[in-house]
Amino acid sequence: MTDFSQIRPFHDSEVSEILNYIKDNPTIYQLLQFGFPKLNEQEQMNLLLSCKKIRDFQSRIMYPIIKSAISKSVTQLSDDGFEYLNPSQSYLFISNHRDIILDTSFLNVLLHEKGFKMTASAMGSNLVNTPFLLAFAKLNRNFIIHRGLSPRETLQKSQLVSQFIARCVIEKNRSVWIAQREGRTKDGNDRTQQGVIKMLSMNCPKQMPLMTYFKQLHIVPMAISYEFDPTDILKIPALLAQHHGVEYIKKENEDYNNIVQGLVGQKGCVHISVGKPLYEDLDLIAAQEEHTNRQIQALVELMDARIHSQYKLFASNYIAYDLLNDIERFSDKYTEKELRQFERRLENRSNSEGNISRKKFLEMYANPVINKLKL
């Protein structure tokens, strides 16, 4: 048996011990207050400690907390494409990535309500840099993608993750969520990293054609669209650093602040679109491309096309496109009131580098429009 202990979520047999370990952490107290305001402290603690399995924690604790976040910060959570999926089948959701925890949380809310199993979800080790955060992530069925390793260690860990994903989907009938790229898309230009697809290919048996193996993973392209990104202002410094060609160094607690702002900040409408599983498409790639590297590149391009086409555009996207290009091409897609509201948001988020930060902010919302136009 492969040892997945360095990356795997907790087993059900470990849940009670871990809950007793984290129960007094202030963040747990805040989350329980947020999700269960009508219960007193002792009732909240009893509910937490009643969880004996990962599923209990996800359904009794995290589901109500995320539902509370939706009721307080989302105008409407909508979806499409789930009719293409079978609740008794596991899938590998490859998704664009905008928010550290909410992308997967919103997906799992929808899966839970539609009678599907909730996913095991990939999370970067940089986001779980304290014992509490690591324990909390693994309680929520996250598996860990290690960052900042040597090339040799990266290769070893990638092979382990590839095996773990296959074990979940193929052997355990457990769906998996993974982002199309390392880290969140900060500029709104969702692109699949070839390295993600290569990592998934590492577990392919030598005698098996790669596209045949990928069909066993039941790959589903997923797009999540936010009318407003509550962390948009927090992404600007990294985009400015990239613009100036300098290394961006995160501030202390920056990821944690992004998680909190993502949870409580106003998001407007949110839409999740899942596509049809890529079966025929993979057959087509296999027929058209002989070499593995060309097949991987073709799949990267296919994922981009699907995610861009599934992305739901809101008034904020059309307004940003028009303001960025100083035109009124999509003026029929938004009202004067929506335009004024977005301009106020833009004004509130400008900084000392006015024109550059304004351009970066507008690109963040306009790039999904640009990508759709290219289709």
What is the DSSP annotation of 158-227? Answer: HHHHHHHHHIIIIIS---EEEESSSS--SSS-----HHHHHHHHTTS-TTS-HHHHHHHTTEEEEEEEES
What pLDDT, on the 0 to 100 scale, is given for residue 349? Answer: 75
- 294 pLDDT band, cuts 50/70/90, is very high
What pLDDT, on the 0 to 100 scale, is given for residue 352? Answer: 56
The answer to whether 143 touches 122, Cβ cutoff 8 Å, is yes
The answer to whether 67 touches 196, Cβ cutoff 8 Å, is no
Mean pLDDT of the chain: 95
In the chain, where does the domain assigned CATH 3.40.1130.10 lie?
76-230+265-312
The C-alpha atoms of residue 276 and residue 187 are separated, in whole angstroms, by 27
Lowest mean pLDDT among 83-97, 196-210, 348-362: 348-362
Buried-state track 305-316, b at ≥16 Cβ within 10 A, e below 16:
bbbbebbbbbbb
Mean predicted confidence (pLDDT) in 156-180: 98
- 253 pLDDT band, cuts 50/70/90, is confident
The answer to whether 176 touches 167, Cβ cutoff 8 Å, is no
- 272 pLDDT band, cuts 50/70/90, is very high
Share of the chain above pLDDT 70, in %: 99
Segment 315-350, tens digit of pLDDT: 999 999 999 999 999 999 999 999 999 999 998 876
What pLDDT, on the 0 to 100 scale, is given for residue 306? Answer: 98
Q: Among all chains, which residue has been given the structure tokens 């799992």?
A: 108
The CATH number of 76-230+265-312 is 3.40.1130.10
Mean predicted confidence (pLDDT) in 365-369: 98
What pLDDT, on the 0 to 100 scale, is given for residue 254? Answer: 87
- 354 pLDDT band, cuts 50/70/90, is confident
The answer to whether 198 touches 296, Cβ cutoff 8 Å, is yes
Angle at which helices 131-139 and 15-22 cross, to 10°: 140
pLDDT of 105 over the 90 cut: yes
pLDDT of 28 over the 80 cut: yes
